[in-house]
Amino acid sequence: MELQTTIYLVVGATFALYIGIAIWARAGSTSEFYVAGSGVSPVMNGMATAADWMSAASFISMAGLIAYMGYGGSLFLMGWTGGYVLLACLLAPYLRKFGKFTVPQFIGDRYYSKSASTIAVICLLVASITYIIGQMTGVGVAFSRFLGVSNDTGIYVGMAIVFAYAVFGGMKGITYTQVAQYIVLILAYIVPAVFISLALTGNAIPQLGLGSDMRGTDTTLLNKLNEVVTELGFSEYTTSLPGSKLNMFMYTLSLMIGTAGLPHVIVRFFTVKTVADARTSAGWSLVFIALLYTTAPAVGAMARMNLHATITPSVMTTGNVFQEDGSLVYADRPDWMKRWETTGLLKWEDKNGDGRIQYYNDKSGDKEFLQNADAAGWKGNELSVNQDIIVMANPEIALLPNWVIALVAAGGLAAALSTAAGLLMAISSAISHDLVKNVFVPDISEKGELLTGKIAMALSIVLAGYLGLNPPGFAAGTVALAFGIAASSLFPAIMMGIFSKKMNREGAMAGMVSGLLITLFYVFAHKGIFFIPGTAYVNLIGGPNSFFGITPEAFGAVGAMVNFAVAFLVDRVTKAPPEHIQAMVESVRIPRGSKAVSGGHH
């Protein structure tokens, strides 16, 4: 069976499965719509949480980032997985015990203020909408290549699929759909990795293959990859860093505390029956997440090796990148390149008119390398490869069977759609429950609230699609930026709400606003897009990364520090929380039977 037909069959079958599950598990009450009736088993919730959390960024982009960043790309592994541990250990059980199933509801009740709840809704919407841009971009990448349609058409199809199972099924439909999506995406990630690891190293376990000797050689895969990339003028794969060590630390911290503050992940711990189940499902989630995250470094390294092997064969044979008779003639390029060229995510420009593909780092600081390149008649790198295609194209580059390529297509779409659905659920509940019911129309009926939630989700899908079709200028780092926004606004308020009984509403609100605003200011101001009438666009902070070399995607950690500092300063000069609030915080944090407190003490 030809490749395109296989892809249509596999992807079509998974879509039919998702919609069928949504119809079977459609929500009939607000409890089922928001938290699946709190009746999901810990193992199932662990799978659903893993699928919800492992977005298009994890499946499609992360290994591509690692492939190009090398060692420095490990910050995504440390930040995202470390953040999940932080969430599972420090936040989820207490929030579950508190009993409020949305972050704004927790903040509103804990800080005894509808204004605090409204600010939390705004922070949640900014973070979730920013995050969802990346998911719709991932949907477009996957559809444009594998279904043979344009990027725009792919986003429209993705919107329709999410609408079908998210709006009608609510959290109940989303949960069971995400269980299926997890199974699809993890198989789609691991099966090709096993094939490729066997082909390159003879080791069927990708995690071990990463450090094994390559077939027919006495050198390890990573050592060979170091040789390959340095021959082409790139940094050594195993030592490269994204900027300074400070930036890497702040980037990792921002991703970590941003993960712990993401509302669509937190709400998953309310879909189980008890606090103990919440802890158990968190443990299962870590197991399911680890399967992908420990495989990602191997996928990234092996994909980079295969990419260079097909584009610059001379590197793999003689190690002499300037050997003309060993370079790749464009007319003889492999089929996978032809297929990805149609998407516009892989482009070739013949700068020196020789009909051959020159692929190297023309931004290298190595003068000798560039002089040798000029002497060989090269006129700059001729090939641009979008990092987001690395995982999706990897099975094609490695010439794996058609069914494996089709499985990867289904996995990429599952990853993007599952997280998009979770984000839309968080947006919907924030609008219908935390704004409409808690602030504007307190006496709304359950049926009316359910309808409001579905309308809010439908409108959110339209907005998400629009942003996917017309991403803002800073969309390249939208996923990391979304984590930074959650880190700087929601995470400190949740942490202080649980662990500081003295934190009052004025401090929490001032902290959330200041953390959010300073992070957004840094993101926008470093682009120079603030406009003063009668002048050109003005850069307000001295250029990109002007704050100690910290990139905008890493600035969320600074925003969180500002949030904490402002909150505690304002708390010092304002009235302490009521005694019943302080007693409530203690009762949530300290287990029953400890006799450490009684409900009335503070």
Alpha-carbon gap, residue 268 to 275, rounded angstroms: 12
Whole-number pLDDT of residue 209 = 93
Residue (of 247, 179, 141) closest to 21 by Cα position: 179
As to burial, measured by CB atoms within 10 angstroms (0-12 exposed, 13-18 middle, 19+ buried), residue 538 is: exposed
- How many other C-beta atoms lie within 10 A of the C-beta of residue 321? 24
Query: Pick the residue with more confidence: 306 or 476?
Result: 306
Residue 601 pLDDT greater than 60, yes or no: no
The residue extents of the domains of the chain are 3-302+397-589
What per-residue string of b and e applies to 443-467 under the rule 16 or more CB within 10 Å gives b? ebeeeebbebbbebbbebbeebbeb
As to burial, measured by CB atoms within 10 angstroms (0-12 exposed, 13-18 middle, 19+ buried), residue 124 is: buried
Whole-number pLDDT of residue 535 = 45
Residue 595 pLDDT greater than 70, yes or no: no
Alpha-carbon gap, residue 166 to 186, rounded angstroms: 21
| 18-27, 108-117, 198-207, 334-343: range with lowest mean pLDDT | 18-27
Most confident of 203-217, 545-559, 560-574: 560-574
Position 531 confidence tier, pLDDT thresholds 50, 70, 90 = very low
Q: Residue for token digits 């503070």?
A: 602
Alpha-carbon gap, residue 268 to 53, rounded angstroms: 10
Tell me, which fold does domain 3-302+397-589 have in CATH?
Sodium/glucose cotransporter (1.20.1730)
Residue 569 pLDDT greater than 80, yes or no: yes
Whole-number pLDDT of residue 544 = 66
Helices (H) and strands (E) in the chain, counts: 27, 6
Residue 466 pLDDT greater than 50, yes or no: yes
Longest dimension (CA), the chain: 83
pLDDT (mean) for 4-19? 87
pLDDT (mean) for 340-348? 85
Whole-number pLDDT of residue 597 = 42
Position 600 confidence tier, pLDDT thresholds 50, 70, 90 = very low
pLDDT (mean) for 413-418? 79
Whole-number pLDDT of residue 169 = 60
Tell me the Cα Rg of the chain.
25
Residue 452 pLDDT greater than 70, yes or no: yes
- How many other C-beta atoms lie within 10 A of the C-beta of residue 415? 32
Tokens representing residue 14 in the block: 């998974």
Query: Pick the residue with more confidence: 418 or 570?
Result: 570
pLDDT (mean) for 126-149? 78
Query: Pick the residue with more confidence: 423 or 123?
Result: 123
Residue 562 pLDDT greater than 70, yes or no: yes
Residue 38 pLDDT greater than 70, yes or no: no
- How many other C-beta atoms lie within 10 A of the C-beta of residue 282? 25
Position 27 confidence tier, pLDDT thresholds 50, 70, 90 = low
Q: Are 194 and 456 in contact (CB under 8 A)?
A: no
Position 36 confidence tier, pLDDT thresholds 50, 70, 90 = low
DSSP state string for 129-152 = HHHHHHHHHHHHHHHHHHSS--HH
- How many other C-beta atoms lie within 10 A of the C-beta of residue 524? 17
Residue 318 pLDDT greater than 50, yes or no: no
Whole-number pLDDT of residue 593 = 46
- How many other C-beta atoms lie within 10 A of the C-beta of residue 293? 20
Size of the chain, expressed as the number of residues it contains = 602
Residue 362 pLDDT greater than 90, yes or no: no
Residue (of 261, 264, 134) closest to 516 by Cα position: 261
Q: What is the mean pLDDT of the chain?
A: 82
Whole-number pLDDT of residue 532 = 46
Tokens representing residue 372 in the block: 């040798």
Whole-number pLDDT of residue 161 = 78
| 63-67, 391-395, 415-419: range with lowest mean pLDDT | 415-419
Residue (of 459, 40, 101) closest to 263 by Cα position: 101
One-letter amino acid of 109: D
**Torsional sign, CA 523, 528, 532, 533:** negative
pLDDT (mean) for 303-318? 73
Residue 541 pLDDT greater than 70, yes or no: no
Pairing state between β 356-357 and 328-329: antiparallel
Q: Residue for token digits 């934190």?
A: 503
pLDDT (tens digit per residue) in 40-67: 788 888 898 888 778 777 887 788 888 8
Q: What percent of the chain has pLDDT over 70?
A: 87
pLDDT (mean) for 167-177? 71
Alpha-carbon gap, residue 100 to 257, rounded angstroms: 21
Q: Is the full-model pTM beyond 0.75?
A: yes
Position 39 confidence tier, pLDDT thresholds 50, 70, 90 = low
Tokens representing residue 228 in the block: 């390959």
Residue 185 pLDDT greater than 70, yes or no: yes
pLDDT (mean) for 9-25? 84
pLDDT (tens digit per residue) in 198-243: 999 999 999 999 999 998 888 999 999 998 888 888 888 888 877 7
pLDDT (mean) for 272-300? 87
Query: Pick the residue with more confidence: 228 or 100?
Result: 228
| 22-36, 111-125, 483-497, 531-545: range with lowest mean pLDDT | 531-545
Contacts of 354 (CB under 8 A, 6+ apart): 377
